[in-house]
């Protein structure tokens, strides 16, 4: 079995098991890495892909989607946590989509971060529109929704439960789970409608009441014992302010920073 921190490949008899458990592109799984492992799996009689991912790069996600489409007639996809943003597109590459109980599929409009003059901004906006059009086409082809309905759902950042995904035509089956997998933590990503269960890091921080709690929170975020102790001793007073608004802002900023740090520490 070949395993990395981003995904895994396990071929048992005639079934190749693939998984994507991180962001697509960027800090997570690259197209080249995925293709290398996919090439070892594609000759199996069937391929099973499990997903718990917040999405990521549109271009990387589309590339992985197209790679998987080459075996769509024998590919079964299962969401065991969340398939958000571009991960929801990847999830639609197979002949079937199963969602475990307590899981989510999320669709929204593509984002970007840009800067420059008006011409540059208009150019980037036009690129986003083209990307959105491509994604809309995929969602329409794999659901019972019209183009207009899909565009409304994307603009609203819609999180589908397993039953809602079935009703919309995205998913084909709900799998009873003895114990649901932990949802990918999207605390630092910026999704505006994320379910509470997918905001683990933020929820833990909101429960911090003492410097000891704060240190435990930092350990959960991926810091070593020494790092957590140092951060807690210096950061507790900053984050734990009397002013409620300032306190909320400080917590939000710290959760975002720690979420990014955790990607490096893991």
Residues 50-77 have a mean pLDDT of 95
Query: Mean pLDDT in the chain?
Result: 79
Neighbours of 80 (CB within 10 A): 22
Report the length, in residues, of the chain.
266
What is the three-class DSSP state of 27?
coil
**What CATH architecture does domain 2-189 belong to?**
Alpha-Beta Complex (3.90)
What was the pLDDT predicted at 9? 59
pLDDT in tens, 98-138: 999 989 999 999 988 889 899 999 999 999 999 999 999 99
Share of the chain above pLDDT 70, in %: 62
Name the burial class of residue 225, with classes exposed (0-12), middle (13-18) and buried (19+) by CB atoms within 10 angstroms of its CB: exposed
Report the predicted TM-score, pTM, of the whole model to 2 decimal places.
0.70
Where are the chain's structural domains?
2-189, 201-265
- CA distance linking residue 219 with residue 222, whole number of Å: 5
- Alpha-carbon distance of 52 to 46, in angstroms, equals 20
pLDDT band at 256 (very low <50, low <70, confident <90, very high): low
135-189 pLDDT, tens digit each = 999 999 999 999 999 999 999 999 999 999 999 999 999 988 655 555 656 555 5
Q: Is it the case that residue 33 has pLDDT exceeding 70?
A: yes
Residue 81: pLDDT band with limits 50, 70, 90: confident
């Amino acid at each position: 079995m070949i395993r990395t921190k981003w995904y895994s490949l396990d071929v048992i008899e005639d079934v190749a098991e693939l998984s994507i458990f991180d962001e697509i592109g960027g800090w997570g799984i690259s197209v080249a890495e995925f293709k290398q492992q996919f090439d070892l799996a594609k000759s199996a009689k069937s391929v099973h892909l499990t997903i718990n991912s917040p999405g990521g790069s549109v271009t990387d996600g589309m590339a992985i989607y197209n790679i998987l489409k080459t075996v769509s007639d024998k590919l079964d996809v299962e969401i065991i946590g969340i398939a958000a943003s571009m991960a929801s597109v990847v999830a639609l590459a197979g002949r079937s989509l199963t969602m475990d109980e307590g899981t989510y599929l999320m669709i929204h409009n593509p984002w970007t971060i840009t800067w420059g003059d008006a011409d540059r901004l208009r150019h980037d906006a036009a690129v986003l529109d083209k990307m959105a059009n491509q994604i809309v086409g995929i969602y329409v082809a794999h659901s019972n929704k019209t183009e207009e309905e899909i565009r409304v759902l994307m603009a609203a950042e819609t999180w589908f439960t397993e039953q809602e995904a079935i009703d919309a035509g995205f998913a084909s089956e709900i799998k009873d789970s003895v114990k649901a997998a932990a949802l990918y933590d999207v605390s630092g990503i910026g999704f505006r409608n994320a379910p509470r269960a997918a905001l683990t890091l933020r929820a833990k921080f909101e429960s911090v009441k003492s410097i000891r709690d704060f240190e435990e929170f930092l350990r959960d975020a991926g810091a070593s014992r020494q790092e957590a102790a140092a951060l807690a001793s210096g950061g507790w007073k900053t984050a734990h302010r009397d002013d409620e608004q300032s306190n909320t802002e400080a917590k939000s900023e710290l959760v975002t920073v720690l979420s990014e740090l955790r990607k490096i520490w893991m």
